[in-house]
């Protein structure tokens, strides 16, 4: 099956194999034992919350503090996605998390763009005459929830505007990080500016915090919501999502691991889908969660009875929701057999 992944963090997409390549390239020492490395890179069984989950990002981030490391990470992640049947992906990352060895946020953006370009060249080379092997990739720049990083977020906003394109580069902004510790209300001004500057944006909301967080993100003018699982806590928020057909970027394995919902038997994904909310299916952090798009579909089929009609709706929703041009959307529809 061919896939579209709209919610995928670069630092969360680093697998053991990718970590080894990045470490070797930069002369960084990693544990020699693969199991030990996997333990450091993946979510522990006893992960209790999003805050716990986010601790797994320290190692992958440490491998992406140089231009070379960051660019190669993007190239390797894109190669993995392409080999897994993903035809369109929006990779998100926070430039401010790549400055430990002297890169600027703008250099980080340039490095990520270079990684996409290099991946394209490799894929073109490997697939001469085989158009089916194509993948298109765009970037979403994340601002980060936190304290004391207000000017870093402003800089991300400035650069998002500077680098914004309709397709083939930076296409939107996001807000990531610990939602329960740094509530959405704190980011009103940042997103008022994003709106004024006409930068499309999505916000992680209703994941570690409640429906109120989704309501605020909608008030700010978010074009999409990252997760939104907890929207069901307020019927009025569900109504707003439905009326405005705001896409939800849902990520079941991530939601299970971060305990976004306590009891997966009450996971609202199928309810949302059946009630006409614009649900999309995504991975979030495939390396850290040990998942792929294929595995997310299998999980939804086996655990929640997702059928062929449901899969088609998810794909249609993903294409409609993508931050790209009508031309690329039409290409996706052809590739996915949606017309
Ligand atoms: N960064 C990576 N994964 C995330 C998630 N699920 N929520 C918020 N920030 C994240
Ligand atoms: Zn996420």
Which residue ranges form the domains of the chain, and what is each CATH number? 3-335 (3.20.20.140)
| Of 72, 179, 207, 289, catalytic | 207
pLDDT band at residue 124 under the 50/70/90 scheme: confident
Nearest to 71 by CA among 133, 4, 17, 18: 18
pLDDT band at residue 128 under the 50/70/90 scheme: low
CA of 289 to the centre of ligand 2 (A): 12
CA of 95 to the centre of ligand 1 (A): 15
Stretch 42-58: mean pLDDT: 91
Instruction: Tell whether pTM > 0.85.
Output: yes
pLDDT band at residue 133 under the 50/70/90 scheme: low
Residues flanking ligand 1, CB < 6 Å: 9, 12, 50, 176-177, 204, 207, 254, 284-285
- Does residue 207 have an active-site annotation? yes
Determine the Cα–Cα distance for residues 31 and 180; give it in Å rounded to an integer. Answer: 32
pLDDT band at residue 129 under the 50/70/90 scheme: low
Least reliable range by pLDDT among 131-140, 159-168, 323-332? 131-140
CA of 147 to the centre of ligand 2 (A): 19
Contact 296, 251 (CB under 8 A): yes
Stretch 58-73: mean pLDDT: 98
List of residues 6+ apart from 109 with CB closer than 8 A: 95, 139, 141, 159, 163, 170
pLDDT value of position 52:
86
Least reliable range by pLDDT among 48-52, 131-135, 270-274, 335-339? 131-135
């Amino acid at each position: 099956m061919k896939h579209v992944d709209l919610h995928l963090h670069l630092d969360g997409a680093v697998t053991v194999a990718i970590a080894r390549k990045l470490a070797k390239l930069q002369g960084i020492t990693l544990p020699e034992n693969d199991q030990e490395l996997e333990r450091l890179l993946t979510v522990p069984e006893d992960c209790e919350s999003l805050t716990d989950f986010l601790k797994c990002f320290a190692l992958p981030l440490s491998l992406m503090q140089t231009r070379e490391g960051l660019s190669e990470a993007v190239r390797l992640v894109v190669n993995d996605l392409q080999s897994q049947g993903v035809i369109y992906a929006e990779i998100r990352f926070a430039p401010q998390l790549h400055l430990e060895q002297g890169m600027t946020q703008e250099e980080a953006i340039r490095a990520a763009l270079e990684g996409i370009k290099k991946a394209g060249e490799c894929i073109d080379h490997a697939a001469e005459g085989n158009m089916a092997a194509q993948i298109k990739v765009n970037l979403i720049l994340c601002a980060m929830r936190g304290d004391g990083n207000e000017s870093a977020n402003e800089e991300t906003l400035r650069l998002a505007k500077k680098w914004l394109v309709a397709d083939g580069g930076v296409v939107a902004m996001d807000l990531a990080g610990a939602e329960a510790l740094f509530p959405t209300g704190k980011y009103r001004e940042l997103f008022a500016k994003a709106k004024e500057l006409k930068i499309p944006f999505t916000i992680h909301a209703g994941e570690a915090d409640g429906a109120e967080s989704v309501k605020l993100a909608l008030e700010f003018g978010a074009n999409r919501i990252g997760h939104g699982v907890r929207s069901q806590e307020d019927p009025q928020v569900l109504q707003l999502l439905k009326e405005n057909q705001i896409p939800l970027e849902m990520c079941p394995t991530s939601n299970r691991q971060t305990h976004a919902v306590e009891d997966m038997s009450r996971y609202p994904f199928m309810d949302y889908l059946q009630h006409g909310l614009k649900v999309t299916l995504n991975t979030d952090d495939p390396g850290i969660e040990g998942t792929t798009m294929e595995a997310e579909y299998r999980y939804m089929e086996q655990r929640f009875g997702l059928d062929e009609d449901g899969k088609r709706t998810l794909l249609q929703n993903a294409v409609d929701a993508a931050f790209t041009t009508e031309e690329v959307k039409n290409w996706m529809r052809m590739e996915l057999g949606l017309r």
